[in-house]
Structures are given as structure tokens and as C-alpha cells.
A = this chain, B = another copy of it.
Amino acid sequence: MLTIRDIATLAGVSRSTVSRVLNNSTSVNEETRLLVKKVMEEQGYRPNVHAQSLTNKGAKTIGVVIPEMLDPFFATMSAGIEKICQQSKTHILLAVGGKTAETELAAIHNLVRQQCDAVVVHAKVASDEQLVSIAERLPGFVLVNRYIKKIASRCVWLNNKEGGRLAAEYLLKQNKKAIAIVASNFGIADPQQRIAGVKQAHIEASVPHNESAIAIAHPNREGGALAAQKLLLTGQCFDAVVCYNDLMAIGVIQTLQENGIKVPEQVSVMGFDDLPIAAYCTPRLTTIRYPIEQMAAQAARLALFKVQGFKAQEGFNKTGASDGVQVGESRQDYQPVLVVRESG
């Protein structure tokens, strides 16, 4: 790998001169500038980011932690972040958190080691305390899927309870009386909050709720199929199912249909997230929209902004320009929206 010295030698100048043409810093003789540029071009020279970041106090890189790669929900989340990064010319370091708190925290710490001063995390298993202690040490640390009071200004979250409430309210209005729940085994509060919302809707409508009609599984299609089987096998009576996400809803529908149950005529099925797929599976999913792309974008903006502020405060902002990072209206709590289609 070529270094700045190699270029300097080849061009017959000093390293500093090469550095100058690289950064357009102080004026360089046009002649030598062109010569150096030519050599760099010929040799395909690319400055070593690590060395640069060592003197610059960090390269422009944002770390992203998602629980897994294959879930389209997280792809959408990443896409939201990526959009912001393009604007602010920031690179993405993507890490997969995996299943245990240990791996999840390791992923975050690795990002820190990589000098990602901005980090956006969808934390599935880590505890609030663990995340708080990380946040205290990392100014640009932002959570995208939970609300932790102590670090509320570093959280972007969805009103999950309202989501559950919306779903159940809608179903009750459709005259559905026995709402089953298919929840996920994610180690986070989301499922519980949504269930609380479902209960609240029942209370508001003065309809009793059968608490035993609940099945828990992995938050994907297979999990949904499995959960539906459990529900059927345990002889639960239900005319509607509220699912943790769209993928589970699809699995539930599939299992129901395989058992000769018509959706939505006999049983309504509601998804959650409103992934693109919700609009083109059959029947098209009635679901609760989770604006994850916007939320992720906002989280990225927030993280970048916090870092910027921190560096300015520390006196690092020598480059002058504030790099166009804007947090906008800085709304950090998002509201879910009911999307009515065909499945319920």
C-alpha cells in the first residue's frame, strides 16, 4: 500500500507538499500541484483513513447496530440512515448485534474502537443500565427503538402502546370480539407496551379481553406460523389476531389458511410496521405503520448533531463549516398510524 512518502519521493517533493495538494490547504505552486496530482493519479494513491483520523480526531463514520441482517425492517432502518450519510458524506460501519446482550454490547464497543463518534443502535437485548452507561461515555450515541428516561434526548422512539391500542380499537369497531395476540420474544419492551395498548382499547370499549389467547415466537414469518399453530392447538377461540410485525402476520395468515380459516372473513389479522411487503402480499395487510425510515434518519441526524456539538465544545471544530448536519424539528417520539387494507 502506497504512502504519502512514496508519492512525495516520486514527485520529488516533501510529504507536506503532497499533504497540501491533498487538502487544498495553503497555496501550492500550480506546477508542482499538477505534478503531484499526476503522480497520485498514476499510482492510484488513497490516503490512509486511519492515519488521517489519528491526527484529525476521528473520521466521519457513523456506526449502526442492528439485531440482524435479513429482516427487511432493519434494511429499511439502514436505508434511512444511509440517506443522511450521503448528505453529510459520512461512512457507515454496520454491525450485527445478534442474540445476546453480550454480542450486542460487543458490537457497540467495537464501533467505539473504530472511532465512530456517532452511533445509532437498535438495541434488542441490552439492559437500560448498560445502554445508559455507554451513552454517558459516548456523546453521539443514539437509540432508535426505545425510550430511556435518563437519556431521553438520545432516544428516538415509537409510541408502541398507541400502536397496540389503534390496532385493537380498529378490530373492535369491526365488531371483532375475541382478539388474540401474537407477540415476539424480543427482549425489549415493545411487545409488552403494545399488549398494554390492546388492553386499553378493550377497556375504552368496555369489552372483556381474554388474556390467555397469546402466543410468543420469533419475530419472523416462521415464528408467526408457529404462533398461530400454538393458538389453534391450545383451542383458543378468536376472530382476530394482533401480530408483533408484518412478517409474523404473514405467517399467521398462512397457517390459518392452511387450516381452512378465511382471512379476514373468519379471522382478521393485523400486522405491525407496514413494510413494503405488507402492500403486496395476499391478502394485503391491514397494519400499523412504524415510520422506521424517518426515525432512523432522525436518529442519524441527531447522532451527527450531538457529535458536532460535542466537538465544537471541545474546540475541535477547526474545519469551520458546520457540515450541514441539521436535526430539524427534533421530534423524537413518533406516532404509529393505522393502515387499512385487506387482512382485517
Residues of A within 8 A of B (CB): 1, 44, 46-51, 53-54, 59, 68-70, 72, 75-76, 78-79, 82, 86, 91-96, 109-110, 112-115, 133, 137, 221, 250-251, 254, 276-277, 280-282
Measured in the bound complex, the distance between the Cα atoms of B51 and A54 in whole Å is: 7
Please, which residues of chain B bring their CB within 8 A of the CB of A250? 280
Q: Which chain B residues lie closer than 8 Å to A281 at the CB level?
A: 280-282
A133 to B114, CA, bound (A): 29
On whether the beta carbons of A91 and B93 are closer than 8 Å, the reply is: yes
CA distance A54 to B52 in the complex (A): 10
Cross-chain contact B82 with A78 (CB below 8 angstroms): no
Contact of A49 among B47, B95, B115 (CB under 8 A): B115
Tell me which residues across on chain B come within 8 A of A86, comparing CB atoms: 96
Copies of this chain, complex-wide, total: 2
Q: Does A114 contact B78, Cβ atoms closer than 8 Å?
A: no
**In whole angstroms, what is the CA distance A75 to B96 when docked?**
12
- Report how far A292 CA is from B178 CA in the complex, Å: 43
Measured CB to CB, the nearest residue on chain B to A81 is B69
Q: CB-nearest residue of chain B relative to A74?
A: B75
Distance in Å: Cβ of A294 to nearest Cβ of chain B: 14
Chain B residue nearest to A108 (CB atoms) is: B46
Q: Are A48 and B137 in contact (CB under 8 A)?
A: no
Using CB atoms, name the residue of chain B closest to A96: B82
Shortest C-beta distance, A311 to chain B (Å), equals 11
In the complex, what's the smallest C-beta–C-beta distance from A43 to chain B, in angstroms?
Answer: 9
Task: Report whether A93 and B96 are in contact in the complex, using a CB–CB cutoff of 8 Å.
Answer: no
Among candidates B1, B69, B82, residue contacting A82 with C-beta atoms closer than 8 Å:
B69
What residue of chain B has the Cβ atom nearest to residue A72's Cβ? B72
Question: Is A79 a contact of B70 with CB atoms below 8 Å?
Answer: yes
Minimum Cβ distance to chain B for residue A86 (Å) = 8
Q: Which 3 residue pairs of A and B lie closest in terms of their CB atoms, listed nearest first?
A: A282-B282, A50-B50, A69-B79
What are the residues of chain B within 8 A of A113 when measuring CB–CB?
Answer: 46-49
Contact A75 B82 (CB under 8 A): no
Other than the known A49-B115, A50-B54, A50-B115, what 11 A-B pairs have Cβ atoms closer than 8 Å?
A46-B113, A48-B115, A50-B53, A50-B114, A70-B276, A72-B72, A91-B95, A92-B93, A92-B96, A254-B280, A282-B282
- Closest approach, in angstroms, between the C-beta of A60 and any C-beta of chain B? 10
Bound complex: CA of A44 vs CA of B113, how far in Å?
11
Q: Note all chain B residues with C-beta closer than 8 A to A53.
A: 50
* A72: B residues at CB distance < 8 A: 72, 75
Quick one: which of A50, A82, A94, A115 has the most chain B CB within 10 A? A50
User: Closest CB-CB distance, A136 to chain B, in whole Å?
Assistant: 9
Contact of A75 among B49, B59, B69, B93 (CB under 8 A): B69
Min CB distance A121 to B, Å, is: 16
Contacting pair A280 B221 (CB below 8 A): yes
> Chain B nearest CB: distance from A53 CB in Å?
5
Which residue of the partner chain B has the closest CB to A277?
A: B277
In the complex, chain B residues whose CB is within 8 Å of the CB of A114 = 49-50, 59, 91
Which B residues lie within 8 Å of A82 (CB)?
69, 96
